[in-house]
Structure 1
């Protein structure tokens, strides 16, 4: 307890060192009362170290995606296979490769049916997909994607059915062209959809992720062509496999480099293993197809299977990387702090 008293003559019995210091706002023990100290006569330096970030009761800062990997990663993979397959099918038809064109049209129809089923299964009720078609919202990737799927599905279906049956050749050609026009959007819009979320590993890769998906989809469709098409018609597919693999690997490399610390989920854990497996299978499939696919039917089929598996691993790897980045608060807090400090230095 304090023993000092205040009277007419001032303060009596005060303890040494307890008097207030006025004039410069300095604390009696040195430094400033606000916890800062002057540096070289200019500016101030915080005396309190930066607080370590923690989440509330150990909870993630973001709500991690509750999607099932089988549904959403499968939806990503099958949609990419369908969209890129329609583009390659149209090219095969124009260049006089009917067997390749037919095989890719059939695979695109099967893939988009599987992709739609996976999406509807994740939504829980088929009516929810129908409800998304009630409005058109150009600023919403989900709205645009729903309408693209609604237009692409019938076009891909008509292209495959009319090719197999031989009915209405002109209508079949128009359906093939329509599916090819919408194919790149089907193959890439899911990347835009993922990047439009707050999930750090997805949102941070908004520049490269569409190229990752397009390259991976091209490799997958090329792999399907190597499996299903005659050996004499797989030349364009082998070239497309090399292109798709190069685009995929280059985009992944650039994304990891630019994301910095946020790229850790793409390198570590389950997602890291999937991404590394995808890289190995992609290179093996593209090299095998380019070097041996034109000589051996078995080599072409094995290379195609490797490319399909690589594309699936890429999509599942991206999915799990996003979930992991949302679960760990550091991938949200540290980039925000770095951006804030960079802005402070600029001003």
Structure 2
């Protein structure tokens, strides 16, 4: 007899019943039919995967990718706030937002390269531009955003040092392109905040794929929370008016987008968003977002209240990204979240009368 590593997953065979008199039964089912119609020979099958193994391969991503998702949102929202400070004459808000954008995108790039394993792998993705690939498009968005954010932040650093950076004749060029660079970074801020959601939704991971329509709105709103929170922590309240407004809009968008997303998803595919580690993180994310938004709206002119509200918003944004990320990984590990939504979609198509395509069969 041969042994396999999968033998431990094989369910035990049910014990056979004995007939009266000690003889074993033939194993045939006895249905209490009345003889007027044909009784089914076998029960309705319940699909399970091979030895209970996952149907789709979980994404080979760890916490490095989840951190990158969060830092990308911080960078995107901060560049947008930096443009707000630039256009409304708030130099401290502009400076802090620009520096925050550069720090966040720089740290995010480190975690991204760490997940890739070798830095040249990111450069390889820039050899082509493939519109149908969220990863290819995202690589170019990240590069374009980083260029604008880097130039505008270097201008702020030079100004803080009293024009002591060894720039030479490049200083005049830097001052000339500082404003356009800040605008360019803000233009790419929205795509940077949203493309990671498109990347997740484009995978076969059940929960991410089921949420692909609303997930970009969730991530953009989360980016607003993070950047507004960072600005409220680092900037005097006299210049945080745009950040407070962005915080309130971000809270409304985040809560509404999450509710709409969960409502439109298949109920089975949405379960990982409410269970386990992911469910706990997303519950606390909503609570902290509402608390931070109320603090920004009602007490944002008080320095202590503003700082506490900013920390709550930053934490809420991080929990949203990590919660969605963990929910997707959990859904890929359990074959139920792949099979049952497929069966539900098949039943819905048949109920709608669609039976002649490659998905349904006219039975």
| TM-score, with structure 2 as normaliser | 0.81
User: Deviation of residue 48 (structure 1)?
Assistant: 4.2
User: Deviation of residue 31 (structure 1)?
Assistant: 4.5
User: Deviation of residue 54 (structure 1)?
Assistant: 1.4
Match of 1:66? 60
User: Deviation of residue 89 (structure 1)?
Assistant: 0.8
Q: Distance in 1 between matches of 2:37 and 2:344?
A: 27
Aligned residue runs from structure 1 range 127-138, under 5 A = 127-138=120-131
- Indicate yes or no: 2:114 matched with 1:121: yes
Say if 1:212 and 1:248, in contact at 8 Å, map to a contact too: yes
Structure with more strand by fraction: 1
User: Deviation of residue 30 (structure 1)?
Assistant: 6.2
Q: 1:4-34 CA distances to partner (integer Å, 9 max, x unpaired)? A: xxxxxxxxxxxxxxxxxxxxxxxxx6645xx
Superposition misfits of 4+ residues, deviation over 2 angstroms: 29-32, 47-50, 166-170
- Indicate yes or no: 2:262 matched with 1:268: no
Correspondence for 1:105 among 95, 98, 102: 98
Aligned residue pairs: how many? Answer: 305
Q: Helix, strand or coil for the counterpart of 2:188?
A: helix
Match of 1:192? 198
RMSD: 1.4
User: Deviation of residue 53 (structure 1)?
Assistant: 2.1
Correspondence for 2:216 among 193, 203, 210: 210
Q: Helix, strand or coil for the counterpart of 1:133?
A: coil
Match of 1:279? 286
Which consecutive residues of structure 1, in runs of 5 or more, have no partner in the other structure? 1-28, 37-46
Q: Helix, strand or coil for the counterpart of 1:134?
A: coil
Say if 1:105 and 1:159, in contact at 8 Å, map to a contact too: yes
Say if 1:163 and 1:169, in contact at 8 Å, map to a contact too: no
Q: Helix, strand or coil for the counterpart of 2:58?
A: coil
Match of 2:29? none
- Indicate yes or no: 2:241 matched with 1:235: yes
Which consecutive residues of structure 2, in runs of 5 or more, have no partner in the other structure? 1-34, 160-170, 354-363
Q: Distance in 1 between matches of 2:351 and 2:194?
A: 37
Q: 1:220-272 CA distances to partner (integer Å, 9 max, x unpaired)? A: 10001101111101111111101001101111111111112211111110000
Say if 1:285 and 1:307, in contact at 8 Å, map to a contact too: yes
